[in-house]
Amino acid sequence: MDDLIKRAAEDLALANNVVALTGAGISVESGIPPFRGKGGIWEKFDPMEFAHIDAFMKDPAKVWNVLIKEMKDIVDTAKPNDGHLGLAKLEELGILKTVITQNVDGLHQDAGNTDVIEFHGNFAWQKCMTCDKRMETINVSMSQIPPRCECGGILRPECIFFGEMIPPNHLLRSRQVASQCDIMLVVGTSAIVQPASFMPVISKQSGAKVIEINPEKTPLTGNISDYLIMGKAGPVMKQIIEELEPLL
Ligand code: NAD
Ligand code: ZN
């Protein structure tokens, strides 16, 4: 693994347009469980019963009481870890340009990345379904379920539910940056959820290197990605930055 970390540092030192694609895995070390797999949220909840837009529209209180409340408790207090901070450092060094994320926790922005394309929106904000007024999730009181705006409208998170569309402009921009980068860094995503998982394919087809960081193999491994650094996002990103800085 150390050899691959050195290799990644050397590759990144030569690059000047790096794009990162991140998934739930990068936030695991911040205490936010992924949806799938061991310890994942879907072991506890049926996504169709709680995370589909139809379920929310039918019974907002039920979805607020279970899924949204649980996510709010976690996201309100979560802090960026070395994985997020490493990507922010790469931006500060002028190497990384854009983060495309499937996450809704807002931790990339908290870490300092300034160009974050959020495929699935952001859970850190709520919006009134009647008047569109926005409110930070952390400031939403749970004394009334579902929480309401001062106009009486029901609040909903600014992330997308199953059954809702990824904003087309986000998709368009992602395709654009994915096709223009010289390295695509894929961190903590199982790469099975389309269309995000297609972004590394676009990069590869456009001549970029694709580097994966994940404790597990993914469908990209040995196929789309040039190499996989098999480890946790936090320690791996930290070591990459340590190896990279003397090379600049
Ligand atoms: P996923 O749950 O399908 O896969 C998570 C991946 O992270 C796996 O490949 C796993 O091996 C890897 N992983 C686990 N621990 C890791 C670590 N410490 N470092 C690096 N990688 C690690 O996640 P997904 O592919 O992102 O898709 C699930 C969907 O769930 C996303 O679309 C996202 O919107 C949503 N989601 C978001 C959050 C969040 O905002 N933090 C949390 C859960 C789910
Ligand atoms: Zn309102």
Residue 130, domain member (yes or no): no
Residue 15, domain member (yes or no): yes
Q: Given this model, what pLDDT does residue 35 score?
A: 77
Residue-range definition of the domain harbouring residue 243 = 1-32+80-120+165-248
Does the active-site annotation cover 120?
Answer: yes
DSSP state of 195: T
**Contact between 79 and 30 (Cβ < 8 Å):** yes
Residue 181, domain member (yes or no): yes
Q: Are strands 121-128 and 155-159 parallel, antiparallel or unpaired?
A: antiparallel
83 band by pLDDT with thresholds 50, 70 and 90: very high
Kind and range of the H or E run holding 209: strand 209-213
Q: Which of 222, 244, 240 is nearest to 231 (CA)?
A: 240
Give the closest residue (by CA) to ligand 1 atom 26. Answer: 23
Kind and range of the H or E run holding 227: strand 227-229
Q: Which residue has the higher pLDDT, 52 or 42?
A: 52
Tokens representing residue 6 in the block = 């050195």
81 band by pLDDT with thresholds 50, 70 and 90: very high
- 148 shares its domain with 236: no
- 184 shares its domain with 66: no
What mean pLDDT is predicted for residues 63-81?
A: 91
**pLDDT exceeds cutoff 90 at 38:** no
**pLDDT exceeds cutoff 90 at 41:** no
- Which residues lie near ion ligand 2 (Cβ < 5 Å)? 128, 130-131, 133, 149, 151, 153
- 58 shares its domain with 14: no
* Sign, CA torsion 36/38/41/44: positive
Q: Given this model, what pLDDT does residue 80 score?
A: 98
Q: Given this model, what pLDDT does residue 109 score?
A: 96
- 25 shares its domain with 144: no
- 245 shares its domain with 181: yes
For residue 78, the ligand 1 atom closest to its alpha carbon is: 41
Residue type present at position 128? C
What mean pLDDT is predicted for residues 67-71?
A: 87
Q: What is the SS3 string spanning 168-188?
A: HHHHHHHHHHHHHCCEEEEEC
Query: Of 102, 118, 212, which is best to mutate to test ligand 1, by the most ligand atoms within 8 angstroms of its C-beta?
Result: 102
List residues near ligand 1 (CB under 6 A).
23-29, 32, 34-36, 102-105, 120, 188-190, 193, 214-216, 218, 232-233
Residue 126, domain member (yes or no): no
What mean pLDDT is predicted for residues 197-211?
A: 97
For the chain, what is the mean pLDDT? 94
Going from the Cα of 208 to the center of ligand 1, the distance in angstroms, rounded, reads 23
What mean pLDDT is predicted for residues 26-37?
A: 87
- 240 shares its domain with 148: no
User: DSSP letters of 99-163?
Assistant: EEE---S-HHHHHT-S-EEETTEEEEEEEETTT--EEEGGG---SSSS-B-TTSPBEEEEEPPBT
Q: Side by side, which strands form the sheet with 209-213?
A: 116-118, 96-101, 18-22, 183-187, 209-213, 227-229
- 73 shares its domain with 187: no
Q: How far apart are CA 112 and CA 87, in angstroms?
A: 9
- 5 shares its domain with 73: no
Boundary-marking domain end, from 130, 159, 188 = 159
Q: Given this model, what pLDDT does residue 37 score?
A: 65
- 227 shares its domain with 193: yes
Tokens representing residue 98 in the block = 């854009």
Q: How many domains does the chain have?
A: 2
2 band by pLDDT with thresholds 50, 70 and 90: confident
Q: What is the CATH number of the domain that holds 153?
A: 3.30.1600.10
Q: Given this model, what pLDDT does residue 118 score?
A: 95
What is the value of pTM for the model shown? 0.94
- The pLDDT tens digits of the residues spanning 123-153 come to 989 999 999 999 999 999 999 999 999 999 9
Q: How far apart are CA 101 and CA 173, in angstroms?
A: 12
Q: How far apart are CA 95 and CA 84, in angstroms?
A: 15
Q: What is the CATH number of the domain that holds 102?
A: 3.40.50.1220
- 198 shares its domain with 110: yes
Residue 125, domain member (yes or no): no
CB atoms < 10 A from the CB of 105, how many? 24
**pLDDT exceeds cutoff 70 at 45:** yes
